[in-house]
Structure 1
Amino acid sequence: MTKDVFDCMRESHSVRNFTQQEILEPTLTRILEAGCWAPSAGNLQPWYFYVVKNQEVKQKVAKACFGENQVEESPVSIVILADPARSNEKYGERGAQLYCLQDTAVAAENMILAAHGLGLATCWIGAFDEVQVQKAVEAPPRLRAVAIICLGYSNEVHTPAKERLRVLDVAKIIH
C-alpha cells in the first residue's frame, strides 16, 4: 500500500543515513516507472536513469559529488541524465538548454514521491561535477547529468517537520 501523494509531499525530506536493506527489484522498477510517467515537453521524454548499485562506481560518483557520503552509503543511487539533442530536435536551443532539464527534474521528483509512497527514503543531489559523474557511469558524452537520487531505507531516528513559505507569500492570483 502506498501513501497519499499530498502526505508524501509534506513528509518527504533529504535523508543522508541509510540502512543496507536491499531494495527489491519490483519496488525499484515501480520507482523508475514513476520517472517515466513524468510529463515532458512534446512528450519527448529526454531522460535516462542510470541505476548504480556497484560500490566502486558509487565511490566514483560520490567523489564527483564533492564527498557526499550518502551516495556511497545508500543501497542505490540513480543518476538522472538528460539528452539535450532530443529536445533540440523539436524545440531548438530552448529545448536543449531548458526543456530537457525541466523534464528530467520532473522525472526525478516523481521518483522521489514514489519512493516515499513506497516507504523508502531519498536524498536529491544536485551539486556535482557533471563530466565526472557522466564518466563514472559510462554515459555517452551527449547526455548531461542533471540530478542524483540516493535511495534506500532511512536509518535516521527523528525528522523535523519541513518549514515552508505560506501560499499567500508566494502565490499571486490574477483575475
Structure 2
Amino acid sequence: MKVSKAISERRSVRKFKSDPVSEEDLNKILEAARWAPSAGNAQPVELVVLKEKDQKEELVKASLGQAFLAEAPIDIVVCANVPRTKKRYGERGSEMYVYHDTAAAAQNIHLMALALGYGTCWVGAFDDEAVEEVINAPDNIEPHVIIPVGKPAESPNPPRKRSLDEIVHEDGF
C-alpha cells in the first residue's frame, strides 16, 4: 500500500473481528514504531502489548469505559521513558518532545497496521495512573496513547477535513 493511500484511508475503527493478529504482523507493526523519528534520537518510546483478556478489561476501566479496547485482539500502549529525553533537553524534552516522539511512533503503528489489513483507533482519553497500574509501569514511564489493533468489523466513513486553503498560511498568518 502506498503511503499516500494509507494516510487518506486510515480510519478510527472501534469494532473488531476476533481474528488474531499474527506474530509476524505484530512484529512489523512494532518495528514501524521503532523507526519513528525522535528528538535528538533519544528514543524514549516504550511499547506495551496487551493480549490477555483480564488486562484488556482493566484497560477498559482505565480508559473511561471504551469497551472496544477489550474487543480488539491486542492493545498497544505507547509510552514515554521521560528521563531519556529530559536528560538531553530538560523540561522542554519532558513536557513536549516526548509527546512528539510517542505521537510519531503511534502514527507509524496506525499506518503499518492499515497496510497489513488491520484497523486501529487512537485512544488518548484515559486515567494515566490507572493505565500505569494495568501495565505495571515503573515511575519513569508515562503512557501517552492506547491503540487497539485487529481486523476491522466496520468501515467508518471518512471524517470531514478542513481544506488546505483553511489550514495553510504562507509566510505567516
1:87 aligns with 2:85: yes
| Conserved 8 A contact 1:36-1:107 | yes
Q: Which string of whole-angstrom CA distances, capped at 9 and with x for unpartnered residues, describes residues 74-125 of structure 1?
A: 0000001101111111000100111011100110001101101111000110
Q: Distance in 2 between matches of 1:64 and 1:161?
A: 28
1:116 aligns with 2:133: no
TM-score normalised to structure 2 length: 0.97
**Cα RMSD after superposing both structures:** 1.1
* 4+ residue runs over 4 A deviation: none
Following superposition, the deviation at residue 159 of structure 1 comes to: 2.5
Q: Distance in 2 between matches of 1:37 and 1:87?
A: 17
Overall identity of the aligned pairs, in %: 37
Following superposition, the deviation at residue 66 of structure 1 comes to: 0.5
**Match in the other structure for 2:160:** 163
Structure 1: where are the runs of 5+ without partners? none
TM-score normalised to structure 1 length: 0.96
**Match in the other structure for 1:4:** 2
| Conserved 8 A contact 1:10-1:162 | no
Q: Matches of residues 139-154 of structure 1 in structure 2 within 5 Å?
A: 139-154=137-152
Structure 2: where are the runs of 5+ without partners? none
Q: Matches of residues 1-175 of structure 1 in structure 2 within 5 Å?
A: 3-156=1-154, 158-174=155-171
SS at match of 2:137: coil
SS at match of 2:19: coil
Q: Distance in 1 between matches of 2:36 and 2:93?
A: 17
Count of residue pairs brought into register by the alignment? 172
SS at match of 1:125: coil
SS at match of 1:162: coil
